[in-house]
Amino acid sequence: MHQEEHLKSSDFITDMVIGMSDGLTVPFALAAGLSGAVSDNSIILTAGIAEIVAGCIAMGLGGYLAGKTEIEHYQSELSREYQEVDTVPEKEMEEVKEIFAEYGLSTQAQELIATELAKDKTKWVNFMMKFELGLEAPNPARARNSALTIGASYFVGGLLPLSAYLFTNTPEQGLIGSTILTVICLFVFGYFKSKVTGQPPVKGAFKVTLIGLLAAAAAFGIAKLVS
Amino acid sequence: MHQEEHLKSSDFITDMVIGMSDGLTVPFALAAGLSGAVSDNSIILTAGIAEIVAGCIAMGLGGYLAGKTEIEHYQSELSREYQEVDTVPEKEMEEVKEIFAEYGLSTQAQELIATELAKDKTKWVNFMMKFELGLEAPNPARARNSALTIGASYFVGGLLPLSAYLFTNTPEQGLIGSTILTVICLFVFGYFKSKVTGQPPVKGAFKVTLIGLLAAAAAFGIAKLVS
């Protein structure tokens, strides 16, 4: 989503956080929900693994497409800017001036910036991309890396809570083991996530854990109602 | 994620796309996976609804926290910039010059920009926030709106594929109905999503549909293996 904008330096961590946030929460909550509705651990494991695989592919491929779209979008805007700089340079120079007029610069300063920028077409276009459109050149390997990191983090995050149902005999036991395991994982994950995003880590850890528990409690309640 | 950066004008559509992308894919794939593993529609419905509730809360609250974090982060960076402008104005003026040195502006122009910007502290700080840090003032209502839009879209997106299991008698029939319904929904959704993000709509519709079908096929295969 949009919270890790200050983490631009580390796409890997951003992607891991995206994948693991949902991976630790949704399969855990699904399994908790089913624990209140079915009597057999094997159904919970089957559903849990189906969910993990589905979520992994949906999020991983979603991340891949998102990355590809970002690159295509950047390229198409880039050619448009080059074309505008070639065909309507006066209009583009006006746009440069407008950017600085907003920050209270004198017309003399605006004039000077626009004239100097116009001397180097590549730098001018790069300037417009960043300062007019707010776009930065995306890393071409990002799409593939994003897909793999998000997918793998979802997978690992999802298997941890589910593993409790493998080593217990009833959904009740599985739910207890899964909850203990997941609360620990969510707390540790929330702590480090907050640390890398520059938030207070303990507060962040409690928030992340609370979301997981709320999702599980709601899924449990609804599944019990439905069944 | 990061694909809708050019949609900044419409947070609502961005959030709807985020929620519906996953909502149309994951519960459908989970139900498909279970269709190959269990013999009773009611288990699929229970699991599907538990998943939708879990995903809805995880994504909705996740969106809420993300929005809150964004605001806190912006505020903390803002106070830091104000402090820097007060305590080390020369250093901040150097930073302004560096930004423009990168675009090949003369030292005379750099000097002029820095001097003029320094005249109005608020505008100077806003300039540094946007052009040095790449941060824009977040909408304070965004966090709550994000949570509601993402959660509701996930919910609606997830219920559509699942409804087929309510009106059929066996998982096989449910799977057929659900697949037809979901393919239509994914195609229409992919078409409009691509249209609003400025991508070729038919190509985008095929991509989105393909991800949904791949996720469902993988979940089906894995669930059959596990059970």
Phi, psi of A8, deg, nearest 5: -55, -25
In tens, the pLDDT along A107-148 reads 888 888 888 888 888 988 988 898 888 888 888 888 888 899
Residue at A6 is within a domain: no
Distance from CA of A127 to the nearest CA of B (A): 7
- B145 with B127, same domain: the answer is no
Specify the pLDDT at position B13.
Answer: 85
Residue at A4 is within a domain: no
Spatial neighbors of A220 by CB under 8 A, at least 6 apart, are: A29, A32, A33, A35, A36, B50
| Distance (Å, whole) CA A219 – CA B172 | 25
* Nearest to A107, CA basis, from A116, A97, A99: A97
In tens, the pLDDT along A12-52 reads 888 888 889 889 999 999 999 999 999 899 999 999 999 99
Answer yes or no: do B50 and A219 touch at CB < 8 A: yes
Residue at B15 is within a domain: yes
Residue at B95 is within a domain: yes
- A70 with A83, same domain: the answer is no
- A216 with A104, same domain: the answer is no
Give the total number of structural domains in chain B: 2
Residue at B91 is within a domain: yes
Residue at B39 is within a domain: yes
Q: What pLDDT band is residue A4 in, cutting at 50, 70 and 90?
A: very low
User: B-chain residues within 8 Å CB-CB of A116?
Assistant: 104-106, 109
- Residue B30 in contact with partner chain A when CB distance is under 8 A: yes
Phi, psi of B215, deg, nearest 5: -60, -45
- B47 with B117, same domain: the answer is no
| Host domain of residue A206 | 11-74+140-226
- Looking at every residue in chain B, the average pLDDT score rounds to 88
Specify the pLDDT at position B3.
Answer: 39
Helix (H, G, I), strand (E, B) or coil at A136: coil
Spatial neighbors of B175 by CB under 8 A, at least 6 apart, are: B31, B32, B35, B36, B164
In tens, the pLDDT along A144-164 reads 888 999 999 999 999 999 999
| Distance (Å, whole) CA A104 – CA A15 | 39
Distances (CA, A) of B24 to A129, B128, B179: 34, 41, 11
- A65 with A84, same domain: the answer is no
In tens, the pLDDT along A62-81 reads 888 878 888 888 888 899 99
Chain centroid, CA A127 distance in Å: 27
Q: What pLDDT band is residue A3 in, cutting at 50, 70 and 90?
A: very low
- B57 with B84, same domain: the answer is no
State the burial class of residue A27 (Cβ atoms within 10 Å of its Cβ: 0-12, 13-18, 19+): buried
Q: HSE-up of A126 (CA within 13 Å, CB side)?
A: 12
- Structure letter (DSSP) for residue A197: T
Map chain B to HEC letters.
Answer: CCCCHHHCCCHHHHHHHHHHHHHHHHHHHHHHHHHCCCCCHHHHHHHHHHHHHHHHHHHHHHHHHHHHHHHHHHHHHHHHHHHHHHHCHHHHHHHHHHHHHCCCCCHHHHHHHHHHHCCCHHHHHHHHHHHHCCCCCCCCCHHHHHHHHHHHHHHHHHHHHHHHHHCCCCHHHHHHHHHHHHHHHHHHHHHHHHHHCCCCHHHHHHHHHHHHHHHHHHHHHHHHHHC
Among A residues 111-150, those touching chain B with beta carbons less than 8 Å apart: 112-113, 116-117, 119-120, 123-124, 126-127, 131, 133-136, 146
Q: Please state the ipTM of this predicted complex.
A: 0.80
Residue at B86 is within a domain: yes
User: A-chain residues within 8 Å CB-CB of B35?
Assistant: none
Answer yes or no: do B215 and A58 touch at CB < 8 A: yes
- A156 with A209, same domain: the answer is yes
- A127 with A158, same domain: the answer is no
- B121 with B180, same domain: the answer is no
Residue at A5 is within a domain: no
Specify the pLDDT at position A130.
Answer: 87
- B64 with B118, same domain: the answer is no
Is the Cβ–Cβ distance between A208 and A197 less than 8 Å? no
- A177 with A212, same domain: the answer is yes
- A64 with A113, same domain: the answer is no
Among B residues 82-111, those touching chain A with beta carbons less than 8 Å apart: 100, 103-106, 108-109
